[in-house]
Amino acid sequence: MNPILVFEQLLNGAGYGLMLFLIAAGLTLVFGIMDVMNLSHGSLFMVGAYVAATVHVQSGSFAVAVLVAVAATVAVAALLEVTLMRRLYGRDHLAQVLATFGVILVADDAVKMVWGPSPVMAPTPAWLSGPVELFAGLPYPSYRLVVLGAGVLVAGLLYLLVNHSRLGMLVRAGASDRWMAELMGVRVQRVFCGIFVLGASLAALAGALMGPLMAVQVGMGESILIPALVVIVIGGIGSVRGAFVAALLVGLVDTIGRAFLPLLLRATLPPAVAADLGPLCAEVAMYALMAAVLSFRPAGLFSAKA
């Protein structure tokens, strides 16, 4: 197999993995600290993507679009926190699943009302539309490279924030033992509101960056939610480090499943069978990974609550 092609696909996988991490980080922090199962996290991703696409077309500036998308989503998230999420702390997971599934339904219809039912165009910024010659024989889309860079940068900042700041200390304390943290005087509730908004801004950033690479349409929040949930479950709920490792793992496994398994099948099996099995492998690889990990480590790879 061509090593350049393999390298290119691995870069694609890492890029997808980093975007998944941006979404999963907010999800796992909220779940780990406040024990709130927030299915509507994907809707925040969708809002970010829609706002970014619209502002980009209107203003012509991609940077402005990303900033406005993050700001708008943070406002929506703050509203959601104050009106709904606050009432769900301490409730059982089913009530949370029910309410946030309700938010998904409301968000999808609200977006459909504002932007219409058909997908929205999210253009690639003009100055990033060309390829970059990474090394001889590998031209790589420069936009994908920027997304990759942004993902690494944000992941690094988040790592510093969680592991080497006072806020991060409070976050980790709340995640590993909320009750004890409260006894020690941490205002977990207030930390949580900050974490919820931070998670929303990460989801919005991912939405704004992913927009040009995928279809900006109603329901995109649900289709990204499942991989993000898979990531936090493989990583171990509440663990940012686990989410990072798992996101890269899922990104790579997904890419390998899509790019290489069909090739392998075509080389070894009769064409008709391979044509049926190829797409199946592509879609199933991620879930097979999760099932395999959970059957050996039922609480994920880096469980915060060992």
Partner 1 sequence: MSAASLTPSSPPQRPATPRWRGALLPLALLAALAVFPLVASALGLDFYIGFVRRVLVVALAAASLNFIMGFGGMVALGHAGFMGVGAYAVVVLSDAGATSAWVVWGAAMVLAALAAALVGAISLRTQGVYFIMITLAFAQMLYFVFVSLRSYGGDDGYTLPLRPVLGLGLDAMHEPTLYWVVLALVALVLWWLDRATASRFGAALAGIRDNATRMRALGYPVYLLQLAAFTLAGAVAGLAGALLATGNSFVSPAMMHWTQSATLIVMVVIGGLGRRWGGPLGAAVWLALEEALKLHTDYWHLPLGLLLIATALYAPKGLAALADLRARSAR
Residue 84 found at the interface with partner 1 (CB under 8 A): yes
Site string for partner 1, 121-160 (x = CB under 8 A): ----------------------------------------
Choose which of 59, 87, 167, 180 interacts with partner 1 (CB under 8 A): 87
Q: Which stretch binds partner 1 (CB under 8 A): 135-143, 167-175, 263-271, 275-283?
A: 275-283
| Integer Cα distance of 119 and 46 in angstroms | 12
Strands 131-135 and 138-141: antiparallel
Q: What angle do CA 20, 69, 152 make, to 5 degrees?
A: 35
Tokens coding 297? 């480590």
> In angstroms, rounded to a whole number, what is the distance separating the alpha carbons of residues 274 and 262?
7
Is residue 169 near partner 1 by the rule CB under 8 A? no
Pick the piece of the chain touching partner 1 (CB under 8 A) from 65-73, 193-201, 259-267, 272-280.
272-280
Pick between residue 97 and residue 138 the one whose CB is nearest to partner 1.
97
Q: Provide the residue type at 50 as one letter.
A: Y
Q: How many CB atoms lie within 10 A of CB 298?
A: 8
Residue 60 as a binder of partner 1 (CB under 8 A): the answer is no
Please report whether residue 89 would count as binding partner 1 according to CB under 8 A: no
Calpha distance 46→101 (Å, rounded): 15
Cα–Cα distances in Å, from 184 out to 32, 163, 178, 239?
18, 19, 10, 21
Would you tell me which residues interact with partner 1 (CB under 8 A)?
31, 35, 37, 84, 87-88, 91-99, 101-110, 112-113, 222, 226, 229-230, 233, 237, 275-277, 279-280, 283-284, 287-288, 290-291, 294-295, 298-300, 305
